[in-house]
Amino acid sequence: MASTSCPALFISAPGSGHGKTTITAALARFHAELGQKVRVFKSGPDFLDPMILECASGSSVYQLDLWMTGKTQCRQLICQAAREADLILVEGVMGLFDGHPCSADLAELLNIPVLAVIDCKGTAQTAGAIAYGLANFRQKLNFAGILANSIASNRHEEMIIEGFSSDIRYLGSIPRNLNISLPERHLGLVQANEINDIDKRLSNAAKTIANTELAELPASISFPCPGVKPVPTLLANIRIGIARDPAFSFIYQANLDLLQSLGARLIYFSPLIDKSIPEVDSLFFPGGYPENHIEFLQQNQSIKKSIKLHFQSGKPIYAECGGMLYLFETLTDKQGNKGEMVGILPGSSIMQNKIQGLGYQSVCLPGGQLRGHTFHHSIIETTLQELTMGVRLYNTSAGEKVFLAKRLLASYLHLYFPSNPEATAQLFLP
């Protein structure tokens, strides 16, 4: 098996909220500003962190997920990046050992050294114990060292360092600074294109890296390159219209790549501002934040009419999560504001204050089984009977319902198309 090499670092933490995304983005921007080609990956199914990381690095960000994407594709994606990049960064999900599989499993598979970011607000020497546990919990893990985040003063850092054992590499600290923190909302970070000063925040974050040992490139890692199986061009000459704007933006780059590899021509449009859908054979409505744009979606009557005509003609439509909500009759936000949506699915969707669905699921569709995940804060009220239901990875409760109306397939599931290219093609074939 052929191989290639590239400097690489896996950024993790004891848990969520320690600043993994901010530090990964800071590293990406710092090295990109030095003229280096930086490729960034995100562990897990998250949509929002990759938007920030793409803005920081200037390159598309892909998911690495041992269950959803599989070991072989994880290796393929890393190998492809290593051929062109000067630096590869992988941001973990949650804590280093959280979940099955976890970030540590992925880091071990790829043999990428782990940088642990510890938010030290409210702690001092005890940070050393946390660092020791992270470094020694798994003996086979390639552990690069610790970055102390949210340091209040020089004295605070001195106390942090006092707690470290000599065999733990301390790579520096990041000062407590609101000018580099990233705003959040109910599904996670705010989308990059909604943060007006995103470039300023990223540049400020990058400057903090200069005073750490992370200013130097890490050691090169050799990555094996598994063979790539050709994808059949099942969607040759098929035009797929994809909703893409601030309301519909939860799209895996790997999904777009696969559709193109299948032979499809991708045409983007905006339900917020366009007067009609483009001339296409199939439609794809991805997830996003339609609840934050109810007024504009309601007012755009002309595009809703063109979507209805596409539906009534029996052409394929695939919609997931927020895209599905847009196709129901009404959508109500958390404040009780209700808007009329497209109305090709009978019923209503209502935003809730608590999360209503979370976790990995697979689903058997007419074309085969696909893998994905769900993460939503809304409920739906409909008379539709489900075609099938998703199956949770850990089967703790019922999976998400999948609805079929004419050629419209809709559910809360965010599917990862490369998990089954043939089944994906069936979603869009006329």
What percent of the residues of the chain are helix, what percent strand, and what percent coil, each to the nearest 5?
Answer: 30, 30, 40
* pLDDT for res 190: 61
**Looking at residues 357-370, what average pLDDT do you find?**
95
Confidence of residue 2 (pLDDT cuts 50, 70, 90): confident
**Looking at residues 246-274, what average pLDDT do you find?**
97
- CA dist 180 to 9, 14, 54, 198, Å? 21, 21, 16, 9
Beta bridge partners of 368: 365
DSSP 8-state class, residue 309: H
**Looking at residues 100-116, what average pLDDT do you find?**
96
Tell me, what amino acid is at 34?
L
Distance (Å, rounded) from C-alpha 130 to C-alpha 135? 9
pLDDT digits (tens, 9 = 90+) for 315-335: 999 999 999 999 999 999 999
Mean predicted lDDT score pLDDT of the chain = 94
> If you search the block for the tokens 């199956």, which residue do you land on?
391
Q: Which of 6, 120, 321, 364 is catalytic?
A: 321
Distance (Å, rounded) from C-alpha 142 to C-alpha 134? 11
**Looking at residues 194-218, what average pLDDT do you find?**
88
Whether 153 and 56 have beta carbons less than 8 Å apart is answered as no
**Looking at residues 261-282, what average pLDDT do you find?**
98
Q: Does residue 194 register a pLDDT over 80? A: no
**Most confident segment among 30-44, 200-214, 220-234:** 30-44
Q: Cis link prior to 14 (omega < 30° from 0)?
A: no
Domain 3-224 matches domain 239-428 at the CATH topology level: yes
Q: Domain map of the chain by residue range?
A: 3-224, 239-428
- Could you tell me the end-to-end alpha-carbon distance of the chain, in angstroms, rounded to an integer? 40
Whether 360 and 392 have beta carbons less than 8 Å apart is answered as yes
Q: Report the candidate in 162, 123, 155 with the shortest Cα–Cα distance to residue 14.
A: 123
* pLDDT for res 296: 97
* pLDDT for res 183: 56
* pLDDT for res 189: 54
Confidence of residue 394 (pLDDT cuts 50, 70, 90): confident
Q: Does residue 267 register a pLDDT over 80? A: yes
Confidence of residue 188 (pLDDT cuts 50, 70, 90): low
* pLDDT for res 192: 53
Beta strand 330-332 with 338-340 is antiparallel
* pLDDT for res 79: 96
Q: Where are the alpha helices (DSSP H) in 34-70?
A: 48-57
Confidence of residue 193 (pLDDT cuts 50, 70, 90): low
What DSSP assignment string belongs to 267-292?
Answer: EEE-TTT-SS--S-SEEEE-EE-GGG
- Residues in contact with 264: Cβ distance below 8 Å, sequence separation at least 6, in sequence order: 235, 236, 238, 239, 240, 428
Distance from the Cα of residue 121 to its chain's centroid: 27
* pLDDT for res 229: 84
**Looking at residues 367-393, what average pLDDT do you find?**
96
| Residue 184 exposed, middle or buried by CB count within 10 Å (0-12, 13-18, 19+) | exposed
Q: Report the candidate in 90, 130, 84, 85 with the shortest Cα–Cα distance to residue 107.
A: 90
Q: Which two tokens stand for residue 22?
A: 């901010």
Distance (Å, rounded) from C-alpha 373 to C-alpha 363? 10
Give the lowest-confidence range in 223-227, 234-238, 307-311: 223-227
Decide: pTM greater than 0.85: yes
pLDDT digits (tens, 9 = 90+) for 64-74: 999 999 999 99
Confidence of residue 428 (pLDDT cuts 50, 70, 90): very high
**Looking at residues 254-263, what average pLDDT do you find?**
98
Beta bridge partners of 114: 10, 143
- 255 sits in which H/E element: helix 253-261
pLDDT digits (tens, 9 = 90+) for 47-56: 989 999 999 9
pLDDT digits (tens, 9 = 90+) for 12-49: 999 999 999 999 999 999 999 999 999 999 999 999 89
Distance (Å, rounded) from C-alpha 282 to C-alpha 247? 20
Q: Does residue 178 register a pLDDT over 80? A: no
Tell me, what amino acid is at 107?
A
pLDDT digits (tens, 9 = 90+) for 67-97: 999 999 999 999 999 999 999 999 999 999 9
Confidence of residue 395 (pLDDT cuts 50, 70, 90): confident
CATH-assigned architecture of domain 239-428:
3-Layer(aba) Sandwich (3.40)
**Looking at residues 199-228, what average pLDDT do you find?**
92
What DSSP assignment string belongs to 184-235?
Answer: EETTEEPPGGG-TTHHHHHHHHHHHHTTSGGGS---EEEEE-PPPPPPP-TT
- Active site annotation includes 79: no
Confidence of residue 3 (pLDDT cuts 50, 70, 90): confident
Q: Report the candidate in 165, 122, 69 with the shortest Cα–Cα distance to residue 417.
A: 69
* pLDDT for res 22: 93
Q: Which two tokens stand for residue 278?
A: 């483009």
Tell me, what amino acid is at 69?
T
What is the percent of the chain where pLDDT is above 70?
95
Q: Report the candidate in 114, 178, 179 with the shortest Cα–Cα distance to residue 140.
A: 114
pLDDT digits (tens, 9 = 90+) for 288-322: 999 999 999 999 999 999 999 999 999 999 999 99
Q: Which two tokens stand for residue 210?
A: 């200069």
* pLDDT for res 200: 86
What is the percent of the chain where pLDDT is above 90?
87
Q: Does residue 279 register a pLDDT over 90? A: yes
Query: Could you give the strand order of the β-sheet that contains 391-392, starting from the edge strand earlier in sequence?
Result: 391-392, 357-365, 368-376, 414-416
Pick the CATH number of 3-224 from 3.30.1490.20, 3.40.50.300, 3.40.50.10470, 3.40.630.10: 3.40.50.300
Q: Does residue 111 register a pLDDT over 90? A: yes
